[in-house]
Structure 1
Amino acid sequence: MLPNKSDFNIIEESEIISVANYRNNIPRKSLGYKTLIEVFIDFVYPHLV
């Protein structure tokens, strides 16, 4: 994880993407222990069929 008040100008873009991917793949209690992508797919898929 990144410390508070990190200067994003000195952090590699790949590291920022890695942290974002990690955070977005944590199951959320408020989403029924699903990840954000699972909720998104559950919402979008019925509209595509």
Structure 2
Amino acid sequence: MSQLKSSTKPFEISKWEVKEAWEEVKANKGAPGVDGQSVDDFEKDLKGNL
């Protein structure tokens, strides 16, 4: 029988780190990821996404 995994993250990611990563992707004109979401689509709800 399998055990349930904890719903907590195994590590912390600060909002600052997410923002920094976003700025790098935008600067590089990053291609859509596995979810197919483009930079333009992501920016439509930037506050909600960051």
Q: Higher helix share goes to which structure?
A: 1
Higher relative contact order (CA 8 A, sep 6+): 2
Normalising to structure 2: TM-score of the pair? 0.29
Per the normalisation by structure 1, the TM-score is: 0.30
